[in-house]
Every structure is written in C-alpha cells, then in structure tokens.
Amino acid sequence: MPQSSHPSGGAPVAKVRHFLQMSDFSAEEYAYLFERTKIIKDRFKRYELYHPLRDRTLAMVFQKNSTRTRVSFEAGMGQLGGSAIFLTSEASQISRGEPIEDLSRVLSRMVDVVMIRTFKQSMVERFAEYSRVPVINGLTDEHHPCQILADIFTYIEQRGPIKGKIVTWVGDAVNMLNSWMQAAKILGFTVHASTPPGYPIDAQLLAECGDSVRVFEDPLEAARGSHLVTTDVWTSMGFEAETEVRKKAFADWCVDEEMMALADPSALFMHCLPAHRGEEVSAGVIDGPQSVVWDEAENRLHAQKALLEYLVVGEVKS
Ligand code: CP
Ligand code: NVA
C-alpha cells in the first residue's frame, strides 16, 4: 500500500522490504514486477509522464565502479519524478570509518530508498537491519539481483516464459551465477553451470538450489540444448590482483561460435557488461545475431523503475 508518512517519523518501522538477493522475493512478486516493467517501459517509449515517485529520493552508495547501475538508477528515479544522490566512500565519511549502522540510520531518515554497491553481502545486510527505508543491492561480491531481474525480463520479452528453460552459465563462480541459481529455484528453470577447476560454486547455495542447478566440468556440455547462454568477466571487481592467473585458468571458458552452435537454435546470448571480447566471449558471439546485450542493458532501467515503484509505493494497478 502507498505510504502516507515518511518512515523517519515515529517508532521504527516493523517490516521494511529490501531487495538484497533474488531469494528475497516470491515467484508471484517477480511475475508482478515483470508485468510492471513492461508497462513502465512502454510508457517511457511513448514519452508519457509517469511520476509515482514525485518528491521521493534515492541515495546511491558506490564502493565499486559502475556505468550501467549508476545511470539506470539515477535516470530511472528522475523519470519516475524523484531524484537520486550519488555517494562514494571517498567523497563521504565512509572512508573515515563511520560505522555502517550509523550511515544507515542517518540516510534512512533523509531519503525514501537506498541502493548500495559494495564488496561483502554482509555490509548490505547490516545496512538493511538498521534502515527505515527499503535497501537495494546494486552488486556485492556474492549477488547481483538487479542484473538478473533485467536479464529474466529480457528473456521473457524476447522468447516468452523462462519456466522450464535451460540457462547456461560459463565462467566464474561469481555474484551473477549466484543470483541466477537463486532465480532458477524460485522461477522453475534450470541452470547448467560450468566453472574452471579451482573456482567452485558456493556449496551451500548449490545445496539450497537442488535440482535447479546442474554442474558440468566441460563448458561445451553445459551449453548443449541451452535456451540462454551467459557469462561474465574472468576477473570481477575486487579480484584484480588475480588477473593473470585467471586468464590462464579461464582460457577454455569462452563463449564462442562453437559453443553457441551446441545450444538450442533459439538460444540467446547475454552478458551483464562490461565485456572483454576475446576473453569470456568472442566478438562474433557478442556482436552476433543471438546476442541481446544492448536490450539487456537497457532493461536495467525499466526493471529497476518497476522495483523502485514496488519498494517505495507498493503494488499499483494503473
Ligand atoms: N552490469 C553492470 O552492473 O554494469 P555496471 O558495473 O556498469 O554498473
Ligand atoms: N561479476 C562482475 C559484474 C560486473 C557488473 C563484477 O562483480 O565485477
């Protein structure tokens, strides 16, 4: 339901919804968000004014670099009638050691929703624990739920329901894979994952996902019959010191034309970007006919606008 007063007033809010990982929402909520994403996207394409977040403010805390996440959240808030504030560690008191709990208490008395991009998932969880307003994970070492929200919307937009389909993950056992795995369990598709020796998938998450995830030693086998092949950089933010070692370890985990040929003829290719052509993906695949990476990137904007609307004003009918 729409809030009638800012949660900074009165007693602490008992139940604030956050989006910290895919498992925070139900299949029904995702169905609603994908419907809203389409409505909001169509309105945007017609340049129809839609300002459900008029006078509302988003604070964005970035402790890692970003292009897409920053622009899509900042532009999205403006398009919904609100505004966004960009904070970094260096330009704020975070770098002087202000406790996360204090940052959360302060920001959540001034703004209506907070997005955080940081290292450890435990940081966003601690922040959320003390926040009076919704908190969104804009990427941690462990999860990248906003990206998967946009990716699944993109799949549905291009090919219809994702339920029952196979999504192949080729590459690092990283945030993106973890979020795909959680989504598979909730939304009823299967992830075929192949990571190089020495880069194992999180065992606890794997156990939680059960039959929704199948692990393959051979990346080509993982791609066989797949409806969506996806990958990510070999070296994620925060792991730069390992770049040279990783280049050797990941050499065979490249999505190329040979791999795409084993997938279902309808298969799409996705990449959260930024990409390294000639490393995790060949130029022929990312710039080829099966690639939907530009739609995928654009859909960050639309999917996150639906997410912001849902978290700040609740379910809407119009
Ligand atoms: N895919 C993604 O999150 O991109 P940025 O790092 O540019 O935000
Ligand atoms: N796995 C990558 C995703 C970047 C959007 C990283 O964490 O750097």
Q: Using a 6 Å cutoff on CB, does residue 191 contact ligand 1?
A: no
Q: Are residues 224 and 107 in the same domain?
A: no
Q: Are residues 205 and 291 in the same domain?
A: yes
Residue 214 annotated in active site: no
Give the range of the structural domain holding residue 115, as residue numbers without chain letter.
Answer: 3-144+300-312
Mean pLDDT of 242-263: 98
CB-CB contact of 117 with 143 (8 Å): no
Q: Indicate which residue's Cα is closest to atom 3 of ligand 1.
A: 69
**Residue 317 maps to a domain:** no
Q: Are residues 139 and 162 in the same domain?
A: no
Kindly list the distances between the CA atom of residue 229 and the CA atoms of 7, 82, 169, 294, in Å, as whole numbers in the listed order. Answer: 42, 36, 6, 15
Q: Using a 6 Å cutoff on CB, does residue 68 contact ligand 1?
A: yes
Q: Which of 163, 162, 169 is nearest to 232 (CA)?
A: 169
Q: Are residues 226 and 88 in the same domain?
A: no
Q: Are residues 87 and 22 in the same domain?
A: yes
Ligand 2 pocket at CB < 6 A: 139, 174-176, 232-233, 236-237, 272
Q: Are residues 150 and 85 in the same domain?
A: no
Residues 64-90 have pLDDT tens digits of: 999 999 999 999 999 999 999 999 999
Catalytic residue among 36, 56, 144, 246: 144
* Distance (Å, whole) CA 137 – CA 272: 15
Q: Are residues 183 and 291 in the same domain?
A: yes
**Residue 173 maps to a domain:** yes
Q: Are residues 210 and 252 in the same domain?
A: yes
Q: Are residues 190 and 273 in the same domain?
A: yes
Q: Is 181 helix (H, G, I), strand (E, B) or coil?
A: helix
Residues 21-38 have pLDDT tens digits of: 999 999 999 999 999 999
**Residue 305 maps to a domain:** yes
**Residue 318 maps to a domain:** no
In the structure, what pLDDT confidence band is assigned to residue 198 with cuts at 50, 70 and 90?
very high
**Residue 20 maps to a domain:** yes
Residue 144 annotated in active site: yes
Cα 201 to chain centroid distance, Å, stands at 18
Q: Are residues 156 and 292 in the same domain?
A: yes
Q: Are residues 214 and 269 in the same domain?
A: yes
**Distance from the CA of 236 to the center of ligand 2, in angstroms?**
5
**Residue 127 maps to a domain:** yes
Q: Are residues 186 and 203 in the same domain?
A: yes
Residue 300 annotated in active site: yes
Where is 69: in which H helix or E strand? Answer: helix 68-79
Per-residue pLDDT at 1 exceeds 50: no
Q: Which of residues 13 and 15 earns the better pLDDT score? A: 15
**Distance from the CA of 226 to the center of ligand 2, in angstroms?**
23
**Residue 291 maps to a domain:** yes
Q: Indicate which residue's Cα is closest to atom 7 of ligand 1.
A: 67
Residue 290 annotated in active site: no
Q: Indicate which residue's Cα is closest to atom 3 of ligand 2.
A: 236
CATH number of the domain that 275 lies in? 3.40.50.1370
Domain tally for the chain?
2
Residues 114-141 have pLDDT tens digits of: 999 999 999 999 999 999 999 999 999 9
pTM for this prediction = 0.97
